[in-house]
Chain A
Amino acid sequence: MRIALRLIPGLWLALLVAAPLALVGVMALSWQAEGVPPYSPPWAGEGTNPENLRLLAEDPYYRDSLGQSLLVAALTAALCLLLAIPMGIAIARAGKWRNALLGAVLLPFWTGFLIRIGAWIGLLRDEGWINAIIRGLGWTDQPLHLLYTHGAMLVGMVHAYLPFAVLPLFAAATRLDPLLEQAAEDLGATPGRAFLTITLPQLLPALAAAFLLVFIPAAGEYVIPELLGPPNATLVGRVLFQEFFQSRDWPVASALAVALLVLLIGPIILFQRLGRAA
């Protein structure tokens, strides 16, 4: 029984993590081919293919997609933090409203993800609600192009990932002693100074955790840039999709996926260290 209990997570990891990872790794070293599946593995006679990885290093299109993705993910995480710091602290100090406010943060999860993105499209498009209000106020006759911009993409990203930043900050803020800020003020610190010197430093591990909790999944995001972002936002998720389903170049797509994973290993390890320290 005990052995079986221990085997289950091992089996799970082997089947759903290790096996797909190995498959992607093999594909990254394979040759593109006609047929199903559209690649021939290294043992099919042609040997390993170093071209895919070299292409990633040399072709600025792929390099840029990785760079853009990391930049958008970092920007998303930073914006999420800016919103999540006051939210987390306010919810932790909300007394009897605490659970209701926490519920409100999690409420978006109760509706479908695509429906929420659809709602943003409805708000932002040229004939959407925001433009209708602006026109109604008579500010302009020409609609503002809000949808398919970097702004719309970031709004969507922040909207989708904000709860992941709020939760760790809320948890850390509940452990703060509110008397410490009072003690700081008693010693001559203005309320702002007390926040910067006393509260914020104590939240530092949670801030780092919240940042990475958003940054890591946001780096591989495909749906939001595709539905809200501009056509020139060639993030790694979109390039992956194009290579897999339009160019049918599975080996290059796999190599790109491996590259993203390698780039994210550092932050992931950092996140786990912080988790153990907290």
Chain B
Amino acid sequence: MTARLSLRGLTRRFGSVAALDGVSLDVPAGEFLALLGGSGSGKSTLLRVVAGFEVADSGTVHLDGTDLSGVPPHRRPVNMMFQSYALFPHMTVAANIAYGLRREGRPRAEIADRVAQAVAMLRLEGMEARRPHALSGGQRQRVALARALVKRPRLLLLDEPLGALDANLRERTGFELRAIQRESGAALIMVTHDQAEALALADRVAVMDHGRLVQQGAPREVYDRPATRFVAEFLGAANVLEGRRTPDGALECPAAACTLRPAAPLPEGVTAVALRPERIRLAPAKDDNSAAGTVAEAAFRGESSLLLIRLAGGALLRVSHAEEDGAPPERGTPVRVGWDADAVVPLHG
């Protein structure tokens, strides 16, 4: 099966900075892919290359097996929702949504029909005659989405679609987005810097850093088994501990004053491991995969508390302490922490 969207070796340089550095990625039909990365990671450039606004220095973009190089934006069966929404201020909501269909030269009746469908799907009834400036942020977001969806694109590109919404609306809109995408069957790429958003909504997450695609996979897989230090720290702010690999495949970590022993022996050359804050427990027995320290800071976070624990070797460990496990220890309390062998994840680079 060929992928709906297939990127091979995409590279785009701005001066000496590589915004995209040899990115290869496949998106099957019907998939919701989250492209996750910090600012300047190249994720927006990737979107603009696929939409046709940016030309890659090298590499190819194929949509359903057709090479898109040299195809101008207006001839690509791909629609983009801009971060700022880019609604046309001089047109009504209905005219904004109808714009793309008018350009296709569809008959009036069909345009009216499809606009009405899009309006109903995104619950914009009664707003048709309004101008964008008379809408709330959430309504504008839905108009922008309707405008892109009404064209029934084979691939939908969303640039930080939830960025401009407040936290409450963001969660609800995210789930709506997921439902609409399932219903429409379009492949969807959502660019975001919000890891929670990416993990919650996407079928697959691709993490970008400095123009490179550093890891891709199902949200749980990427979260549980981060491949590199960057992914480990970017997703869920894991603890990264460095040390020396012992001959039997454990990691001797002077900063933690302990030995970390993973479920399977560490591969040769690995000198760092990731340890998720929520996989660390207080007060286990003294053996490998445990360490002594004192509570340096405790922050209440609602369903859990975040503890910063200064280990005997000097390392500062982030520990998530669930509320149901009782009150967290006070600052300055000496504690012993431990973790399961399968919580120790080897990092490559």
Contact = CB atoms under 8 A, between A and B. Distances in A.
Interface of A: 177, 179-180, 182-191, 193-194, 197-198, 201-202
Given A177-B84, A182-B73, A187 B103 contact: yes
B89 A188 contact: no
A185 B99 contact: no
A186 B74 contact: yes
Interface string B72-104: 111100111010101111100000000110011
A187 B89 contact: no
B89 A179 contact: no
A188 B104 contact: yes
Contacts of A187: 74, 79, 99-100, 103, 147-148, 151
Report the 4 A-B pairs with minimum CB-CB distance, sorted nearest first: A187-B100, A188-B103, A183-B86, A179-B86
18 contacts: A179-B84, A180-B89, A182-B53, A182-B73, A183-B87, A183-B88, A184-B88, A186-B51, A186-B78, A186-B80, A187-B74, A187-B79, A187-B103, A187-B148, A188-B74, A189-B99, A198-B88, A202-B90
B82 A189 contact: no
A180 B74 contact: no
A183 B84 CA distance: 11
Q: Most chain-B Cβ atoms within 10 A of its Cβ — which of A187, A189, A191, A197? A: A187
Interface of B: 51, 53, 72-75, 78-80, 82, 84, 86-90, 99-100, 103-104, 147-148, 151
Nearest to B76: A186
A180 B86 contact: yes
A189 B103 contact: yes
A201 B90 contact: yes
A202 B132 CA distance: 14
Contact of A189 (B74, B87, B89): B74
Given A185-B72, A188-B151, 12 more contacts: A179-B84, A182-B73, A183-B80, A184-B88, A186-B51, A186-B79, A187-B74, A187-B100, A188-B74, A188-B104, A189-B103, A202-B90
B90 A182 contact: no
Contacts of B86: 177, 179-180, 182-183
A230 B325 CA distance: 98
A202 B147 CA distance: 20
A201 B147 CA distance: 19
Nearest to B97: A187
Contact of B74 (A177, A179, A185, A201): A185
A144 B235 CA distance: 77
A190 B82 contact: no
A200 to B, nearest CB: 10
Contacts of A190: 74
Contacts, number: 55
Nearest to B157: A186
A191 B75 CA distance: 11
A106 B152 CA distance: 49
A185 B87 CA distance: 13
Contacts of A184: 88, 99
Contacts of B88: 180, 183-184, 198
Contact of A186 (B73, B84, B87, B89): B73
Contacts of A198: 88
A187 to B, nearest CB: 4
Given A177-B84, A179-B82, A182-B53, A188 B90 contact: no
A179 B86 CA distance: 6
A130 B230 CA distance: 68
Nearest to A178: B86
Contacts of B99: 184, 187, 189, 197
B176 to A, nearest CB: 21
Contacts of A202: 89-90
A27 B87 CA distance: 57
Contacts of B151: 187-188
Nearest to B53: A182
A188 B111 CA distance: 15
Q: Most chain-A Cβ atoms within 10 A of its Cβ — which of B72, B79, B103, B147? A: B103
A189 B90 CA distance: 17
A9 B340 CA distance: 84
A220 to B, nearest CB: 34
B103 A183 contact: no
A183 B143 CA distance: 13
Contacts of A183: 80, 82, 86-88
A201 B53 CA distance: 23
Q: Most chain-B Cβ atoms within 10 A of its Cβ — which of A179, A185, A197, A202? A: A185
Contact of B73 (A177, A180, A185): A185
Nearest to A198: B88
A182 B85 CA distance: 11
Contacts of B84: 177, 179
Contacts of A189: 74, 99, 103
A201 B131 CA distance: 14
Contacts of B53: 182, 186
B75 to A, nearest CB: 8
Contacts of A179: 82, 84, 86
A155 B94 CA distance: 45
A186 B53 CA distance: 9
A190 B71 CA distance: 12
Contact of B100 (A177, A188, A191): A188
Nearest to B151: A187
B255 to A, nearest CB: 47
Given A185-B73, A186-B74, A187-B151, A193 B103 contact: yes
Contacts of A194: 74
B77 to A, nearest CB: 9
A255 to B, nearest CB: 44
